[in-house]
């Protein structure tokens, strides 16, 4: 016998109560974890673990509830509790007439986390350096940018790219409107990652040549963004995306320095982002 409308509503109300109880219990446990991390001197906010959690949920998910909704629910949970733990805040580099970066940041950090807009990338970087905000939402690199913001990461080595937004947008139109998150938090291994290095070379070496050379060391190059450095344009800087989490980065950078010989000038580990499963299968 089919259930009446009132019976269905009563069952939904019971589920809502159970969900609420579990959410409150989860928040209590997260606070306990935060206290334990502080005692052990561990990083409280861990985007890598959060990404791994999202992957696990997406793997087991089924039914009519969209995957994007699942991500939104858990990102809201993470953001709300992280705010209570650390008082974190966010600045977004971008113009008011382009709401994309702001919307992506709000989806990722949640509605409880304070956010402010700054006019340009330099202001956003300074905001994090001066501890005015915890995270900066930065534009995705563009090929041929004459003054790329990521060039600052060659000298500000206490800053790292820690994730990319939105999750799972690699193969859809929105991928051309992605952003990167910058912080003093270290980029950590999530189990499936894209690492980013900064490479400064003398002269005009083609990107395909750089790719070929890096592949001789066993790297899989995903993409390379290049820009001229300095007024004279003698050196060029390259932001290189590599598949996988780079362990023992100092050793790997030494190998890269030898790879390019006299053309080599400098290299730095810039960070990276978790590679997420495609979640927009139905968007095409």
What residues in the chain have per-residue pLDDT under 70?
Answer: 1, 83-85, 95-97, 168-176, 230-233, 277-284
CA 279 to chain centre: 16
**Residue whose structure tokens are 């005009």:** 204
pLDDT of residue 283: 38
pLDDT of residue 278: 62
**Six-digit token pair at 198?**
């900064």
* Complete domains list, the chain, with CATH: 5-188 (3.40.190.10), 194-273 (3.30.70.260)
pLDDT of residue 87: 77
pLDDT in tens, 93-122: 976 667 888 988 988 888 888 999 998 999
pLDDT of residue 241: 97
Contact indicator for 109, 79 with CB cutoff of 8 Å: yes
Q: Which of 197, 241, 198 is nearest to 222 (CA)?
A: 241
Burial of 61 (0-12, 13-18, 19+ CB in 10 A): middle
pLDDT of residue 144: 78
> Interior CA angle at 247 toward 249 and 159, to 5°?
55
CA-CA-CA-CA torsion sign (279, 79, 93, 201)? negative
pLDDT of residue 94: 79
């Amino acid at each position: 016998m089919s259930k009446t409308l009132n019976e269905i509503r009563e069952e939904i109300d019971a589920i809502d109560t159970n969900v609420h109880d579990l959410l409150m219990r989860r928040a209590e446990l997260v606070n306990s974890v935060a206290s334990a991390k502080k005692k052990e001197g561990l990083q409280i906010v861990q985007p890598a673990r959060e990404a791994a959690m999202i992957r696990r949920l997406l793997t087991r998910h089924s039914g009519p509830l969209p995957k994007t909704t699942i991500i939104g629910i858990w990102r809201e949970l993470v953001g709300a509790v992280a705010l209570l733990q650390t008082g974190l805040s966010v600045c977004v580099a971008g113009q008011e007439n382009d709401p994309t970066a702001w919307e992506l940041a709000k989806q990722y950090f949640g509605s409880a986390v304070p956010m402010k807009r700054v006019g340009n990338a330099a202001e956003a970087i300074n905001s994090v350096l001066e501890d005015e905000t915890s995270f900066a939402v930065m534009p995705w690199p563009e090929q041929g940018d004459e003054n790329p913001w990521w060039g600052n990461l060659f000298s500000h080595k206490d800053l790292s790219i820690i994730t990319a937004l939105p999750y799972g947008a690699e193969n859809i139109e929105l991928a051309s409107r992605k952003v990167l998150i910058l912080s003093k938090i270290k980029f950590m291994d999530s189990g499936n990652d894209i690492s980013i290095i900064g490479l400064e070379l003398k002269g005009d070496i083609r990107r395909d040549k750089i790719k070929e050379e890096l592949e001789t060391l066993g790297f899989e190059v995903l993409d390379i963004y290049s820009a001229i450095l300095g007024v004279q344009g003698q050196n060029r800087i390259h932001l290189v995306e590599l598949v996988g989490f780079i362990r023992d980065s100092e050793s790997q950078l030494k190998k890269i320095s030898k790879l390019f010989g006299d053309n080599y000038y400098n290299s730095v580990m810039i960070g990276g982002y978790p590679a997420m499963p495609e979640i927009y299968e139905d968007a095409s």
